């Protein structure tokens, strides 16, 4: 079975979420170096890279309230400006991959998904699948999307990666894993300690300690992330939430070694 790892590079890590439009280029380069190492150590491993919007897309999405719909000309302009912001950040990241010699191809989710009242109703991931088969590394990101009821909205990288994890898992020829790399050590409990494992069984006890982002963020922060990842744990897809500031942590998580962070899994598939 082929191994497929979906990596989310959190906007909290690759940008300074408290400084509008501030990318962390050095951090991006370090993460790309780790991904190069992973490819060297396991050349047959397939990867899809997603990147969050950080202090780029979340700023404009908040300003234009794009997540709640696109109804007038000003909203339409906002929708387009948010799209440009996410493209701008993705381009900075894609350049780092290309400079490292990794064949990353940027694929805007706006062209692949449609929602109805913010719910995903249509997806066409064929370009991602074909890019993977052709030996490219698809690069996706949280984006604006067309919505059949409210005109337009926002879809997070996390939601897209969860959909992609299901899409490839269902095909039966991929062992799928999702790794979210952020500017946090993992998911913290009420004492600020990293929770090593979240399962459907222990979630009720720890839920109260998990909240939204402290920065401008329109897609829900940590609570949204954990709940989306929990929803695919029952499929046997493990999701890791790890600290991207610790050198080697991403390599270890992808290659299945001891990792600082939180794993979200059902517990039934081990
Ligand atoms: N229990 C918790 N553990 C960790 N972070 C938490 C917790 N509760 C709330 N948070 C907040 O959630 C944030 C992480 O969510 P956020 O969506 O900002 O991350 P991201 O996915 O890296 O960013 P982006 O959405 O821009 O890609 C943390 O920085 C913190 O402010
Ligand atoms: C704000 C926009 C446009 C996308 C949000 O994606 P995320 O940062 O992955 O939650």
Distance 40 CA to ligand 2 centre (A): 30
| Domain total in the chain | 1
pLDDT (average), residues 30-40: 98
Position in ligand 2 atom list of the atom nearest CA 144: 3
Q: Say how far apart CA 158 and CA 164 lie, in whole Å.
A: 10
The answer to whether position 209 is within a domain reads yes
The answer to whether position 269 is within a domain reads no
Average pLDDT over all residues of the chain:
96
Q: Say how far apart CA 56 and CA 76 lie, in whole Å.
A: 18
The answer to whether position 39 is within a domain reads yes
pLDDT (average), residues 67-86: 98
The CATH number assigned to the domain holding 77 equals 3.40.1160.10
Q: Is 39 annotated as a binding residue?
A: no
The domain of 116 spans: 2-264
Q: Is the ipTM of this complex over 0.90?
A: yes
pLDDT (average), residues 152-181: 97
In terms of Cβ atoms closer than 10 Å to its own Cβ (0-12, 13-18, 19+), residue 20 is: middle
Q: Are the C-beta atoms of residues 224 and 67 closer than 8 Å to each other?
A: no
User: Does the beta carbon of 177 sit less than 6 angstroms from any atom of ligand 2?
Assistant: no
The answer to whether position 32 is within a domain reads yes
pLDDT at 270 over 60: no
pLDDT of residue 194: 98
The answer to whether position 126 is within a domain reads yes
The answer to whether position 270 is within a domain reads no
In terms of Cβ atoms closer than 10 Å to its own Cβ (0-12, 13-18, 19+), residue 237 is: buried
Q: Is 9 annotated as a binding residue?
A: yes
pLDDT (average), residues 170-176: 94
**pLDDT-derived band of residue 257, with 50, 70 and 90 as boundaries?**
confident
pLDDT digits (tens, 9 = 90+) for 97-128: 999 999 999 999 999 999 999 999 999 999 99
Q: Say how far apart CA 229 and CA 23 lie, in whole Å.
A: 26
């Amino acid at each position: 079975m082929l191994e497929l790892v979906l990596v989310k590079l959190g906007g909290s890590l690759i940008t300074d979420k408290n400084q509008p439009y501030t990318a962390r280029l050095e951090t991006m380069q370090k993460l790309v170096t780790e991904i190069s190492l992973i490819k060297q150590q396991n050349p047959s491993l397939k990867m899809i890279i997603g990147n969050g919007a950080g202090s780029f897309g979340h700023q404009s999405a908040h300003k234009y309230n794009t997540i709640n719909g696109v109804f007038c000309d000003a909203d339409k302009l906002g929708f387009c400006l948010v799209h440009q912001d996410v493209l701008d950040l993705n381009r900075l990241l894609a350049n780092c991959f290309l400079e490292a010699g990794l064949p990353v191809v940027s694929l805007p989710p706006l062209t692949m998904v449609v929602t109805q009242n913010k719910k995903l109703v249509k997806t066409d991931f064929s370009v991602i699948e074909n890019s993977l088969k052709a030996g490219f590394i698809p690069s996706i990101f949280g984006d604006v999307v067309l919505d059949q009821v409210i005109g337009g909205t926002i879809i997070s990288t996390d939601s897209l990666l969860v959909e992609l994890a299901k899409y490839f898992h269902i095909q039966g020829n991929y062992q799928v894993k999702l790794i979210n790399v952020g500017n946090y050590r993992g998911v913290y409990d009420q004492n600020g300690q990293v929770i090593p494992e979240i399962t459907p069984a222990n979630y009720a006890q720890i839920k109260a300690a998990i909240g939204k982002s402290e920065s401008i963020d329109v897609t829900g922060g940590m609570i949204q992330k954990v709940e989306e990842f929990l929803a695919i744990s029952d499929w046997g897809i493990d999701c890791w939430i790890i600290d991207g500031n610790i050198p080697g942590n991403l390599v270890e998580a992808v290659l299945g070694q001891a990792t600082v962070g939180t794993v979200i899994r059902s517990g039934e598939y081990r």
